[in-house]
Amino acid sequence: MKAVVSLNSGSSSIKFSLFVLDGEGALRLSAGGKIEKIGIAPTVTARSVEGGVLLERAWPDGATLAHADLLADLFAWAGDHPLEGQEIIAIGHRVVHGGTEFAAPRLVDTALLEKLEALCPLAPLHQPHNLAAIRAIAALRPELPQVACFDTAFHHDKPDIASRFAIPRALHDQGIRRYGFHGLSYEYIVRRLAEIDPALADGRVIAAHLGNGASLCAMQAGKSVDTTMGFTALDGLMMGTRCGSIDPGVVLHLQAQLGMSPAEIEDLFYKKSGLLGVSGISSDMRTLAASDAPEAAEAIDLFACRAAREVAALATSLGGIDGIVFTAGIGENDADIRSRICSRLAWLGVRIDELANVGNCPRISMPDSPVAVLVIPTDEERMIALHTLNVLGNALGAVA
């Protein structure tokens, strides 16, 4: 059976999913797993969709294995353990930045890799790891087609006004503009919403991707009109460890008065801020919810308050809203956060049914709420696999 692998490579982890093509050409998840703690004490786990452990491996503290070494190990294992005759025909990658040029997924070749390499300064914590995985696989299996799926692509055609910072035009022209991210997640939400409620999918919807990284996207008829992340994945909402929107004067102060270097400021804003920074306890929403500390309560309150404020801002970009969709780790599971955000938006006509909310039901709004509120689990891996098949089909003229 033919299969497609989705890869999502971060700084210290690589998530992978294996989808098989069934008789009708639909994708069925077959297995998935994670390489974690890269650079510290790497572990690899893979499970079948039924939950059976396929692979479990751990290296000791200080093992200096890079992304490429661990992917080579995974491929060697896959080569020795053919997954019930599944034949991998392509690998799809999440690539965080497609810049101004790429509005759709692309088949990887040397020229594309060079262009994507040039975008590394725009996403220094993500892009290099995305490309390292592509390079590692090209070296291991040069014949295997690889497809780059961009997190920015979904926002590529948003109105110019949603792409500009109020800075001199020359800087915008050299790429200092609002790109937006989490596009693969939003694309998947659009597909699912069209199945669940086609009329709503055709209207004005704000999707709230609330995970460790968090952003909102304002969509009109399934197209991105505005979004909270901007030039980098730091902008917008408060996140697990990222600060979200911040007065640029703070950056100047940290540099000029506190003598912090660019690397220290980067570390502060990406890794030590957000829920972690405000609570001083954890970046994990579940840990904070279980804590009695007032700092944890304040961090949760700030998270919800900032999210609600940004929903209201995006409602203006849309000229009103017909629906809100919550997704990702917090959005899909945390009824308390959804309730806090929605109650702050009551003036916009948002009224949720608390019973349905606690049940994480697809529709959590009251029947007479002018704004529909839904919970839809996202699946970026499936979106990558779908794009990969599609690009492959276009490249080959047909998909088997």
* Binding-residue total with ligand ADP (CB under 6 A): 12
Helix (DSSP H) and strand (DSSP E) numbers for the chain? 15, 13
Q: What is the DSSP letter of 388?
A: H
160 is catalytic: no
- The CB-of-97 to ligand ADP minimum distance in angstroms stands at 17
Cα–Cα distance between 24 and 162 in angstroms, integer?
Answer: 40
Which CB atom, from 30 or from 212, has the smaller least distance to ligand ADP?
212
- Of the pair 179, 181, the CB lying nearest ligand ADP is at 181
Minimum CB–partner distance for residue 329 and ligand ADP (Å) = 2
Question: In the set 202, 264, 266, 284, which binds ligand ADP (CB under 6 A)?
Answer: 284
What is the distance between the alpha carbons of residues 33 and 42, in angstroms, rounded to a whole number?
13
Residue 332 CB, nearest approach to ligand ADP (Å): 7
**In this complex, which beta carbon is closest to ligand ADP, that of residue 147 or of residue 299?**
299
State the amino acid at position 23 in one-letter form.
G
Q: Which residues pair with 154 in a beta bridge?
A: none
Distance in Å, CB of 208 to ligand ADP, minimum: 12
Q: Give the binding range for ligand ADP (CB under 6 A) out of 160-168, 242-250, 282-290, 361-369.
A: 282-290
Could you say which DSSP state residue 40 is in?
Answer: T
Q: Compare residues 92 and 213 and give the one whose CB is closer to ligand ADP.
A: 213
State the CB neighbour count (10 A cutoff) for residue 279: 23
Helix (H) or strand (E) holding 18: strand 14-21
Site for ligand ADP, residues 239 to 278, rule: CB under 6 A: 240
Neighbours of 163 (CB within 10 A): 19
The half-sphere exposure of 254 on its side-chain side, counting CA atoms within 13 A, is 16
- Check 61, 80, 109, 151 and give the catalytic one: 151
Sites for ligand ADP among residues 320-379 (CB under 6 A): 328-330, 333-334
Restricted to residues 156-215, the positions that interact with ligand ADP (CB under 6 A) are 211-213
CB nearer ligand ADP, residue 322 or residue 379: 379
Cβ closer to ligand ADP: 255 or 333?
Answer: 333
Cβ(48)–Cβ(56) below 8 Å = no
**Contact yes or no for 304/337 (Cβ under 8 A):** yes
Please report how close the Cβ of residue 322 comes to ligand ADP at its closest, in angstroms.
25
Sequence-separated (6 or more) residues with CB below 8 Å from residue 336: 289, 300
Establish if 236 lies at the interface with ligand ADP (CB under 6 A). Answer: no
Name the residue among 190, 207, 187 with its Cα closest to residue 198: 190
Nearest distance, CB of residue 175 and ligand ADP, angstroms: 25
For ligand ADP, which is the closer residue by CB, 108 or 325? 325
Q: Minimal distance in Å, beta carbon 211 to ligand ADP?
A: 3
Return the number of the residue (200 or 289) whose C-beta is nearest ligand ADP. Answer: 289
Nearest residue to ligand ADP, by Cβ distance, number only:
329
Q: What are phi and psi of 211, to 5 degrees?
A: -125, -150
Q: What is the CA radius of gyration of the chain?
A: 21
Contact pick of 250, 286, 346, 358 for ligand ADP (by CB under 6 A) = 286
- Min dist CB 167 to ligand ADP, Å, is 29
Residue 363 β-bridge partners: 374
Do residues 123 and 97 touch, judged by C-beta distance below 8 A?
yes
Residue 84: exposed, middle, or buried by beta-carbon count in 10 A (0-12, 13-18, 19+)? Answer: exposed
CB 92 within 8 A of CB 387: yes
Question: Contact with ligand ADP (CB under 6 A): which of 4, 74, 91, 285?
Answer: 285
Exposed / middle / buried, residue 161 (Cβ in 10 Å: 0-12, 13-18, 19+): exposed
For ligand ADP, the binding residues (CB under 6 A) are 211-213, 240, 284-286, 328-330, 333-334
Q: State the catalytic residues.
A: 151
